[in-house]
Amino acid sequence: MHKIYILDQFHPAGVEWIEQRADVVRWDDPRLSDWHQHAQGLMVRTGKISGEDFRRAKQLKVVSKQGVGVNNMDLVAAQACGITVCNTPGINREAVADMALGMALSLSRRITEFDRMIRSGQAFNRNDFMGLEMWGKTIGIIGMGNTGTEVAKKYRQAFNAQILAHDPHVPADHWGDIAHERVHDLADLWPRVDVLSIHVPYTPQTHHLVNAAVLAQLKPRAMVINVARGDIVDEDALYTCMRAGHLHGAGLDVWSDVEPPLASHPLLSLPNVIATPHAAGSTEETQIKSSLRVAEQLLHVMNGGEPFHRVV
């Protein structure tokens, strides 16, 4: 039987499925520390796999990663070692899109802000804390992949929003069923949006894509939503911008250094920031589907099949 090591805690659905078909060592088993010597396949979520890990794992053939992001492993080393890496994009698109939309709605109507005030016993006049309606707003979507598509659909259906879409890697006829304007130059997008919703992977090209210069171009009452990867937004620049009173609010599910962020993080001192701990995909439905997909893909490749979604 194939020797499979599961490096992170997965939903039981996928664990139980693969335990019936392979010799499995789970994340809570003391034998996990021996994976470099024995693993032929790995299931991983957020655990880091370095180049040295790959070089030590002489029997390792396949790594199946939950989710789309693979910046927690050294892909160059994996390829050099002849190890297949595959991921599971798109499975969490509904959940992540829900979070993106929920953050924007909560910010626009100051729901979390009011909740904190009431719970703390703070005296306030609600007329001094006016919200914004979402109907007909202009939404800038950066990244027209699985999640971006769902976000656009939800905004169109719920709020008759105007969609500005940017993605240089998607064909021109993409989103044919969604009314939108394709924006090729981001410089034309920044000053027009009421909500900036980010759905691109983290790459050297997207590092600090949203920086001080970009933030200065946004409308004074715009909102920034990041449910993609932390380093896409320059958090220091965002804090400076919002501290100065620019922007209606920001919703961040992903963070640059530590997730969840430390309580001392400057952005957490601002009442119009919603912070969540990289939990956009954390729904029961998504975790079941993702866990099963990771397990099924791993065993499929180990039995000689082509990955459903190959990374290297």
Give every CB contact of residue 11 below 8 A, 6+ residues apart in sequence: 287, 288, 290, 291
In three-state secondary structure terms, 163 is strand
* Gap between the Cα atoms of 65 and 47, Å rounded: 10
Residue 308 lies in a domain: no
Same domain, 153 and 240: yes
Q: Give residue 302's pLDDT.
A: 97
Number of domains in the chain: 2
Same domain, 97 and 83: no
**Residue 194 CB neighbour total at 10 angstroms:** 21
Q: Give residue 174's pLDDT.
A: 80
Which tokens go with 89?
């994009």
Question: Which residue from 78, 79, 85 is spatially nearest to 63, judged by alpha carbons?
Answer: 85
Residue 7 lies in a domain: yes
Residue 309 lies in a domain: no
Residue 312 lies in a domain: no
* Gap between the Cα atoms of 22 and 43, Å rounded: 12
Q: Give residue 79's pLDDT.
A: 98
* Gap between the Cα atoms of 75 and 312, Å rounded: 7
For residue 11, CA distances in Å to 45, 238, 312 come to 11, 35, 25
- Torsion sign over Cα 190, 150, 65, 47: positive
Same domain, 65 and 86: yes
Q: Are 233 and 218 in contact (CB under 8 A)?
A: no
Residue 126 lies in a domain: yes
Same domain, 78 and 154: no
Residue 75 lies in a domain: yes
Q: Are 234 and 214 in contact (CB under 8 A)?
A: no
- The beta strand positions in 133-215, using DSSP E, are 138-142, 162-166, 181-182, 195-198
Q: Give residue 50's pLDDT.
A: 98
- The beta strand positions in the chain, using DSSP E, are 3-6, 23-25, 41-44, 62-65, 84-86, 138-142, 162-166, 181-182, 195-198, 223-226, 249-252, 273-275
Same domain, 8 and 140: no
Burial 235-255 (b: 16+ CB within 10 A, else e): bebbbebbeeebbbbbbbbbb
Residue 307 lies in a domain: no
Same domain, 97 and 244: yes
Question: Which residue from 132, 134, 116 is spatially nearest to 124, judged by alpha carbons?
Answer: 116
Residue 32 lies in a domain: yes
Q: Are 251 and 104 in contact (CB under 8 A)?
A: yes
In three-state secondary structure terms, 65 is strand
Q: Are 248 and 274 in contact (CB under 8 A)?
A: no
Same domain, 240 and 252: yes
Catalytically active residues, by annotation: 229, 259, 278
Same domain, 67 and 39: yes
Helical ranges in 49-92 per DSSP H: 51-56, 75-80
DSSP code for 233: B
* Gap between the Cα atoms of 111 and 7, Å rounded: 38
CATH number at residue 53: 3.40.50.720
* Gap between the Cα atoms of 43 and 180, Å rounded: 38
pTM of the model: 0.86
Computed on alpha carbons and rounded to an integer, the radius of gyration of the chain in Å comes to 21
Q: Which domain holds residue 290?
A: 3-91+284-302
Same domain, 104 and 242: yes
pLDDT tens sequence for the chain (312 residues): 999 999 999 999 999 999 999 999 999 999 999 999 999 999 999 899 999 999 999 999 999 999 888 989 999 999 999 999 999 999 999 999 999 999 999 999 999 999 999 999 999 998 999 999 999 999 999 999 999 999 999 999 999 999 999 999 988 778 889 999 999 999 999 999 999 999 998 899 999 999 999 999 999 999 999 999 999 999 999 999 999 999 999 999 999 989 999 999 999 999 999 999 999 999 999 999 999 999 999 999 999 999 999 999
Same domain, 79 and 201: no
Same domain, 122 and 43: no
Same domain, 270 and 145: yes
